[in-house]
Each structure stands twice: as C-alpha cells, then as structure tokens.
Amino acid sequence: MKELRLGFIGAGFIARFQAEALRNVRGAQLAGVYALKGAEELAAQANKTGIGDCRVYSSVAELCKNVDAVALLAPNFVRVELMEEVTEAVRAGAELKGIICEKPLGRTVAEAKRLVDLVEEAGLPNAYFENQLHMKCIQKALQQLEPQRKSMGELTLARCAEEHSGPHEGWFWDPTRQGGGVLSDMGCHSIAVAWYILTPVGKPLTFMEPVSVTADVALLKWGQEKYRKQLLARMGVDYAKVPAEDFATGTITFRNPETGQLVRGQFTNSWMYDKQGLRLLMDGLGPGYTFEVNTLRSPLEVFIGDEAAEAVLDAESALEKATASRGLLAVQPNEADLYGYVAELEDAVAAFTQGLTPLATWRYGLEITKLCQASYMAAERRETLDLTDGNMQAKLEGYTSLIAQGKGAEVLM
C-alpha cells in the first residue's frame, strides 16, 4: 500500500512532537512542511530520522498540491486564516484526502464553527487531534473494565488533570492570541477525556448530554514577585495589563439520554506544577470499581547528583516540561506513545486511506470548544450555567471571554 504523504502546517513544539510520534506509525511519511519559522529544522529532523523525504514549501497552496493530507499545527490565532488558504487550494485542484487540526479547534465558538464550515465546504475528511482520548492506558482501562461497566453500571465520576510549569512559547502566555490561559490551553484535554471516560460502552463521543457547568479560574503565582520577574522575562507579555489564568478547575454534569442518570466530570489544570515536569492524572469511579492514571509513574528513574549535573543532557529529553536537571528524575522512554500521539496519527492515517471515520472529527472539536467557553463564562459570572438552555447556547456563539479580550484583570486581579 502506498504511504500517506503528510504535510505539516507549522513547525513548532507540537509539530516536532508529532514528527517524533510518526516514527512509530506505519503507512505514513512526513513529505512536506510550511511554516514561518522552524521549517528547515523540522525537515532536517524528518530526513535524519527516516520518517520521510520532507521538503519545505513556500506557501500553503504549494504544500497542499504536493501531499495527500495536511495537519494544522500552527498557533491558534492563525488557524482560520490558514484553513481559508487550504480551502482555496482545494478549489484550485489540490487533491487532499484529509485534514487534521490540533486542539483546540477554535479560541471561541464562532471561530470553531467557522473552521467546521470551511472543512465541510472543502469536502475534506477531517480528524480533530485530542491525543488524550487515544492514550493506551485510558483505552486499556475502559476495555479491561467493560464487563464491570455492563454488569454493575457505568462510570459516574471522572477526574482529569493536566499540569506543568507553563508553555514554551511567548504567544501561549498572551490570552489575546492564545484565546485565554491554562483553561484554553489544557482544559480542552481534561474536559474531553472526562467526557470520554463517562461515555457508555459502544456509544458515540457526544452521547452523554452536557447539562451544566461550574468553574473557577485564578492567577495564583502572580503575587510572588520573584516569579513575576521570571515570568515576564520568559514570555514577553505584560500580565499586569493582559493577565490570564494559571489555574482552572470545574465540574461538568452530563446526562444519559436513555436512562436519565446524571454523572460528573471534574477538570483541573495549571501552569503551576513545579515538580518533575508534565503530569497527567486521571481516574474514573464506578459502582464497585475504579481506575487511575498518573503519567509520572515511570518504569525508569534516573538520579543525578550536584557534581554530575553540569554534564546533564537536555532535561526535556527525559520528560516534557521538565523543570530540573538533577535529583530524582522520572524518565518516560516513549512520551509520544504514552500521551496518545502515536495512536491518534494511526487513527487519522487509517481514516484517510481506508475511508473510515476517525475517533474525533472537527464537529466534536466544536463541542469541546463550547464546553471550554462555557467554563470561562461560568467562572466570570460565578454561577452554574444551564447548558440545556437554548438561550445560553446562543450566547456562547457570540461570546469571547474577558481574559481572551485582554480584560482578565476584571476577573483575576
């Protein structure tokens, strides 16, 4: 079978992670990249690691003409513009078999709807990349507990967290470009995987109906003067003028439309986790059974003493968002596989080459965007929102959070 030739639009952190994941995927190669910066380096990485004869293209249109499928991996604030260029390329004759969009689909509901309209106008099979749905430990837990779920009843509480010490690039810290703070950045992960965990066996991703949401957001580290100076130097954004939350938590209630049973998904996200590095923590509780995932529990640990610390390799080669180069370090031998990147790429490749439907499409990404924005609105209003109210859904379509508008001081300070 001919390999699917993938093209990346964007060459930043997530593109490099996906390129690493592609080393584990059969039936696909990285054939091209378009990006304003980093494209040459990403192409060199692809050629060195043998994942494809990767070429750098000067435009989205040229990339689309020379690959089979493209992945939107560029920053949030240019996604709509880039998708418009992809749509134009398809109109001009580019024969794409599919398109991928990295989370979040949109910074607002209106933006996410625009992307869905564009991809459907172009007639492109599409995959929404939410890697945590594909994590093997989540998939295996749900599979292993399937007999209990059928005999005892489904999971009724899911608690999901993603935490680390903060993003790599400056634009992530700017809420007017990123779309918010940690809730926009990582809340989409935790909300999606909680919804997924609570979905009964054999039902589609959106089977459980969102009923209500309550949430809270906060900027907790800003009050520490030393940290404030480090933060400003790191991101180049004046948080005193445009603050964004570094902590978010909330609860979404879902209803089973067949039985009427109410279940709850809790999410917690922060850029405050100054420990080993990135931690994903999920658990699911049902009647008489439970499961738990903690990605910092690794079969490999390394200890580096002070005298030896000068010779340490890049700390992030051991763990994403690693914050230390000495002491007891957790090392994940294959992070790309652990976090679900490999499986989501395999899912998309199978969908685009065999005419299958991927686990998550852009329409599902739109629903996740709605829940993220509803969480922001609930935090602003300091009340529980009724998601079954048609008027509330209409308000969400025209909503941009105060934090995303650069008015976060009204909420956070």
Task: State the pLDDT at residue 3.
Answer: 95
41 residue type, one letter: E
| 262 & 193 share domain | yes
Among 100, 48, 96, which residue's Cα sits nearest to residue 79? 100
As given in the structure block, the two tokens for residue 323 are 């914050």
- Its domain, for residue 83, covers 4-131+341-360
Query: Which residues 6+ apart lie within 8 Å of 55 measured at CB?
Result: 31, 32, 33, 43, 66
In a domain, 347, yes or no: yes
The CATH number of whichever domain residue 76 belongs to comes to 3.40.50.720
3-state SS class at 103: coil
pTM to 2 decimal places: 0.94
Tens digits of pLDDT across the chain (413 residues): 689 999 999 999 999 999 999 999 999 999 999 999 999 999 999 999 999 999 999 999 999 999 999 999 999 999 999 999 999 999 999 999 999 999 999 999 999 999 999 999 999 999 999 999 999 999 999 999 999 999 999 999 999 999 998 888 888 989 999 999 999 999 999 999 999 999 999 999 999 999 999 999 999 887 676 766 666 666 677 777 889 999 999 999 999 999 999 999 999 999 989 888 899 999 999 999 999 999 999 888 777 777 777 655 666 666 677 767 777 778 888 999 999 999 999 999 999 999 999 999 999 999 999 999 999 999 999 999 999 999 999 999 999 999 999 999 999 98
In a domain, 287, yes or no: yes
Geometric angle at alpha carbon 309, from 305 and 315, rounded to 5°:
110
In a domain, 288, yes or no: yes
| 127 & 64 share domain | yes
In a domain, 170, yes or no: yes
In a domain, 309, yes or no: no
As given in the structure block, the two tokens for residue 98 are 């599919």
Strands (E) in 45-105, as ranges, are 55-56, 69-72, 98-102
In a domain, 307, yes or no: no
| 156 & 194 share domain | yes
- Whether the Cβ atoms of residue 278 and residue 325 lie closer than 8 Å to each other: no
| 217 & 232 share domain | yes
H/E element holding 47?
A: helix 39-49
Q: Considering its fold, how many domains does the chain have in total?
A: 2
| 138 & 123 share domain | no
Distance CA 79, CA 403 (A): 20
CA atoms within 13 A on the CB side of 28: 33
* Ramachandran region, residue 166 (left: φ > 0; alpha: ψ -120 to 50; beta: rest): left
| 77 & 96 share domain | yes
In a domain, 249, yes or no: yes
In a domain, 36, yes or no: yes
Q: What is the DSSP letter of 104?
A: P
Geometric angle at alpha carbon 44, from 42 and 45, rounded to 5°:
65
| Location of structure tokens 């089973």 | 256
| 212 & 277 share domain | yes
The CATH number of whichever domain residue 152 belongs to comes to 3.30.360.10
| 78 & 166 share domain | no
| 95 & 17 share domain | yes
| 293 & 162 share domain | yes
Geometric angle at alpha carbon 284, from 283 and 286, rounded to 5°:
150
| 34 & 105 share domain | yes
| 219 & 101 share domain | no
